[in-house]
Structure formats: C-alpha cells, structure tokens
C-alpha cells in the first residue's frame, strides 16, 4: 500500500504543478498586451529620450554624442529660469485654490438635498468639456475690448478692465481662473466626496453629544479622516500643475510664436520644452529638459511623502480627539 500510494501522490503533485504552471502562463498572456504597450510606447521612448539627452540631435541629422553639454546649457538659459518661475507661480496659487474649491464643492454635494444628482452632474460638467472648446469660450470672455468679463467689471466701475491674455500681468491669473473653472468640480471633488462619505457618522454623533459644535467636528473629525484623500489629491494636483501645457499653448499662441506669450509671461516649463523640441527641432536639448523635469517631480513627490507623516491620518481613535 505504501509503495503504491507514493507514485499516486507524486502524480497528484505533478498535476497540481502543471495546473499552477498553466495558470501562471495564462496570467502572463493576459498581461502581455499591457506589457508590450508599456515597453513600446512608454519604456522605449523614455530610454530613447535618455540617450538623446546626451546628444546633439535636430531630427534632420543623425544624433551626435554631446556629453553633458545639454544639461550644462539648461541652467544657463534665461528662458529655462523664466519657465521655472512661471510654473512655480502658477502651481503655488492654483493648487491651494483648487484644493479649497474642490473641498467646498464636495462638502456642498455631500449634503442631503433634493436634486443632488443633478447638481453633481452640473459641477462635474466643466471637467469633461474639451479643452479646445473651453479655451475658445474663455478667450471670448477675457477679450479686453468686447469680452463678458470686462463688461461685468465695467458695470461695477472698473474701467478699463484688465488686458488678460494680452497683458503680461494678467495672463497667468487668467489661466488660473480657467483652470479652477475646469477642475474644481472634477476628479479632486469626486475623491474628496468619496472620502467624506467614508467618515463614520457615529464619530460625529458622539462628538455632538460631548458638546462639540459643527466647526469643531469638522476640524477634529472630518479633516483628519479626510487627510488621506486630500494627500492623494495634493500629489496629483501638484504634478498636474507642473505639467501645465495645453491650456497655455492654446490660449496664448496667438500672442507670440513660439508659444508662451505675451513676452514669455505664460512660458511654462512644458511649453518651453515643446518649443525647443518641436519648434526649434532641438530634440536633444528637449530630452534633457524632460529628464530634469522628471527628476524634479520625483524629488517633490518624495518630499511630500515624507511630510505626509506629520499630517495624514490613516486611522483615528475617537477617544484621542479633543474639541
């Protein structure tokens, strides 16, 4: 019996092993399209751009190895520092305002009111409007002579109105306004709304029994439990703001060729990269700009992850909360 049972056990083991191998192969086949797509359309271009960043390449002649000259040039270019300043200016104002606006929208839409689904759709609608259509609309609204915005400002005594996209002073605030209109009710709002709906109602009821008012409950319960969603939105918001391109390119191309006008006031980092790579055909220098940007985003994200330990709460005990 013992000698017969051993071969039977070995056969069962081989069958289980072959089944496991078959399932593994099947799994690899399922992910193969994604792996191929990533390798061909993401990893491959990244490796190619890394090599090109060390070359002098204009797309008209074969690339010639250039060493670190492209990277040395970056930090001596006036337009590089101008683009960095414009991008930091935009991100430092847009990201906090967008977080605040998204949180306010989420708080409003979390209320139990009639027609809540309709209001959620209305709030979300600007975020799915094609960027070209929204830019055309806002260019008309911000027209310095016949635009709706300056007309409304004139009704309250502000004449003449700002030049908006035709002004070096008001071009970036105009882009911030458009960005807020398009993003305040978008993905960030949905993330924060989902976070609000995950806050246990029992904590609010216990706090109310203990005498906490609405503001104290919001500050000590809602915000701490909402901090993971806020952190996620903050990281994505900063990365998205640093990648500002399409809106600035479409809205201001007519004021300066290449894009970034008037007088380089909307020359954001990605616009500057695009100009060098596709208008000046300096693909090697553009690749170097791309890798500097990648490293900057990587460092900023790492810093955020480190700082998150001081304000992001993934769990909270009601007994530790004070109001």
Listing DSSP states for 299-319 in one string gives HHHHHHHHHGGGT--S---GG
Side-chain half-sphere CA neighbours of 147 within 13 A: 22
Residues 85 and 36 in one domain: no
What local confidence, expressed as pLDDT, does residue 230 receive? 93
What local confidence, expressed as pLDDT, does residue 207 receive? 84
Distance CA 202, CA 217 (A): 12
**Residue 96 falls inside a structural domain:** yes
* 3-class SS of residue 64: strand
Distance CA 229, CA 194 (A): 8
Residues 89 and 24 in one domain: no
**Residue 260 falls inside a structural domain:** yes
The tokens describing 250, both together, are 């479409």
Q: Using N-to-C axis directions, what is the helix angle for 131-141 and 171-183, rounded to 10°?
A: 130
The tokens describing 244, both together, are 């500002």
**Residue 184 falls inside a structural domain:** yes
What local confidence, expressed as pLDDT, does residue 317 receive? 43
DSSP string, 219-249: IIIIHHHHHHHHHHHHHHHHHHHHT--HHHH
**Residue 70 falls inside a structural domain:** no
b/e map 117-154, b = 16+ CB within 10 Å? eebbeebbebbeeeeeebbeebbebbbbeebebbeeee
Residues 33 and 127 in one domain: no
In angstroms, the Cα distances linking 5 to 13, 15, 19 are 12, 15, 21
Distance CA 252, CA 83 (A): 15
Q: How many domains does the structure of the chain reveal? A: 2
Burial label, 156 (beta-carbon count in 10 A; 0-12, 13-18, 19+) = exposed
**Residue 72 falls inside a structural domain:** no
What local confidence, expressed as pLDDT, does residue 2 receive? 52
Residues 35 and 141 in one domain: no
Residues 84 and 21 in one domain: no
In angstroms, the Cα distances linking 297 to 40, 115, 284, 311 are 23, 41, 20, 21
Q: Going along the chain, which residue ranges are E strands? A: 55-56, 64-65
Which pLDDT tens digits describe the chain residue by residue (323 residues)? 455 555 666 666 666 667 777 788 888 888 999 999 999 999 999 999 999 999 999 888 889 998 899 999 999 999 999 999 999 999 999 999 999 999 999 998 888 878 778 888 888 888 888 989 999 999 999 998 888 999 999 999 888 889 898 889 999 999 999 999 989 888 889 899 988 888 888 888 888 888 888 888 888 888 989 999 999 999 999 999 999 999 999 888 766 667 888 888 999 999 999 999 998 899 999 999 999 999 999 999 999 999 998 888 876 444 444 44
Residues 104 and 178 in one domain: yes
Residues 143 and 30 in one domain: no
Distance CA 129, CA 140 (A): 16
**Residue 212 falls inside a structural domain:** yes
Residues 185 and 109 in one domain: yes
Q: What is the CATH number of the domain that holds 175?
A: 1.10.3720.10
Distance CA 189, CA 320 (A): 29
Question: How many angstroms separate the most distant Cα atoms in the chain?
Answer: 103
What local confidence, expressed as pLDDT, does residue 95 receive? 95
* Structural domain boundaries, residue 113: 77-320
Residues 110 and 12 in one domain: no
Place of tokens 């700002």: 162
**Residue 197 falls inside a structural domain:** yes
What local confidence, expressed as pLDDT, does residue 319 receive? 42
What local confidence, expressed as pLDDT, does residue 254 receive? 63
Residues 22 and 124 in one domain: no
Residues 30 and 152 in one domain: no
What local confidence, expressed as pLDDT, does residue 20 receive? 72
Distance CA 142, CA 203 (A): 47
**Residue 61 falls inside a structural domain:** no
Residues 38 and 113 in one domain: no
């Amino acid at each position: 019996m013992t000698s017969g049972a051993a071969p039977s056990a070995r056969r069962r083991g081989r069958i289980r092993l072959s089944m496991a191998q078959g399932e593994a192969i099947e799994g690899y086949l399922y992910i193969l399209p994604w792996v191929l797509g990533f390798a061909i359309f993401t990893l491959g271009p990244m490796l190619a751009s890394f090599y090109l960043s060390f070359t002098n390449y204009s797309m008209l002649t074969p690339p010639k190895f250039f060493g670190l000259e492209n990277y040395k040039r970056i930090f001596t270019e006036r337009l590089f520092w101008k683009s960095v300043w414009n991008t930091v200016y935009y991100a430092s104002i847009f990201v906090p305002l967008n977080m605040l606006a998204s949180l306010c929208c989420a708080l409003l839409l979390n209320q139990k009111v009639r027609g809540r689904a309709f209001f959620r759709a209305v709030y979300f609608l600007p975020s799915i409007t094609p960027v070209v259509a929204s830019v055309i609309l806002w260019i008309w609204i911000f027209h310095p002579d016949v635009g709706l915005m300056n007309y409304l400002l004139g009704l309250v005594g502000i004449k003449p109105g700002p030049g908006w996209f035709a002004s070096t002073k008001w071009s970036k605030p105009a882009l911030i306004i458009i960005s807020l209109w398009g993003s305040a009710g978008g993905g960030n709002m949905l993330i924060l709304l989902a976070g609000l709906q995950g806050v246990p109602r029992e904590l609010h009821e216990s706090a109310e029994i203990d005498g906490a008012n609405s503001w104290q409950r919001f500050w000590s319960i809602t915000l701490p439990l909402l901090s993971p969603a806020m952190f996620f939105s903050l990281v994505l918001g900063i990365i998205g703001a640093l990648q500002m391109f399409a809106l600035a390119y479409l809205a201001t191309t007519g004021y300066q060729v290449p894009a970034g006008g008037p007088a380089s006031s909307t020359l954001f980092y990605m616009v500057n990269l695009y100009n060098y790579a596709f208008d000046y055909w300096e693909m090697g220098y553009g690749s170097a700009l791309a890798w500097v940007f990648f490293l900057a985003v990587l460092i900023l994200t790492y810093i955020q992850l480190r700082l998150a330990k001081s304000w992001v709460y993934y769990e909270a005990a009601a007994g530790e909360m004070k109001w």
